[in-house]
Amino acid sequence: MPIHDHARSRLAGLISATTIALVIVLASSRALAAGHGGGSPTGTPGKTGSGNPGSGHKGALLPILPDGTPIEPGTWREESTESTEILDEGRWDWELNLVGVSSDRADGIDSDAIDWAHAEVRRGLGDGLQLGASIESWDRGDIQEGSSAQRVIEAGYGSTSLDLRRRLTAAGSTGPRACMGIRVELPGSPESPGAHVAEGGAFLPVTFPLGPSTSLGTTLEANVVPGALDASRHLEGVSSLELSHEFSDRVSGRAEVVGVWYGEPGRPVLGLVDSGLSVDPVPHVGLTLGATAGLSGGTSELGWFGRLSVHP
């Protein structure tokens, strides 16, 4: 009888997770037919990659430098290092980013973003498997070229991401931990600064414990994405290294280095560093503030980001 109960429990968990995925896919299906939005003097469709869902701004609107080269704001890549933690079977976890803001400046071009109610939910499926989903309820991107009249604003509901992960190391291991995962990103509305076509990729994060409260994490990621300069698709590579430390139960900090290879002629490699401090001023409420600095093709940029969230 206990075996049958366990089987029924696992089946119920799988059905629940599958139902969530289907609801999200159906809710986003009308966006699959959406084409790219209109062009502009200072913006072009592009891809920001897949960081932790809800961390930073992910959009298709890219600033264009005076020489015609698109440059990606560093705040679109902050927190690229994935977690290796996998929930036990039947366990749920979630986070709701109430509001997030970011601002970048590069070569006289300002890029600002704001997002509202970005939700993330995760479910442990057992056997080291975990299903996750994130929904970007509303995004707004604003690109301004100096004090001139060249300004682009896009706003609408954002993309939806689904990912499936599997643990590669023993559960509860005190040594290095690793997992692997695949992700599919469904596009948002044509008016939003988010992805306008479906995208996908795979990622491999590894975490090295350095002490009771300190860890070093790294992630390698490959995505198939549309080009920023044309309509073709290409392979994009992302690598990151992050040092994190928990100062107390309510305060943590991190510093990260990220490299992005776009695999597209005419786009230089992006290198950036970002750091942030997260504080829970009261239980279940999180506040994160941080800064980024990036370098792409000899052009440097500086930015900052912040968000207010709730969690269990």
pLDDT at 223 over 90: yes
If one counts the domains in the chain, the total is: 1
134 or 68, higher pLDDT: 134
Q: Is 36 exposed, middle or buried (0-12, 13-18, 19+ CB in 10 A)?
A: middle
pLDDT 10s digits, 62-112: 888 878 888 899 999 999 999 999 999 999 999 999 999 999 999 889 999
* Host domain of residue 94: 2-310
Which pTM does this prediction carry?
0.79
Give mean pLDDT, residues 175-191. 94
Give mean pLDDT, residues 7-34. 42
pLDDT 10s digits, 245-282: 999 999 999 999 999 999 888 889 999 999 999 999 99
pLDDT at residue 233 in the model: 87
CA distances from 88 to 92, 166, 167, 203, 281 (A): 9, 11, 11, 20, 28
- CATH number of the structural domain spanning residue 282: 2.40.160.40
pLDDT at residue 149 in the model: 64
CA triple 69-71-77, angle to 5 deg: 155
pLDDT at residue 60 in the model: 60
pLDDT at 205 over 80: yes
301 or 196, higher pLDDT: 301
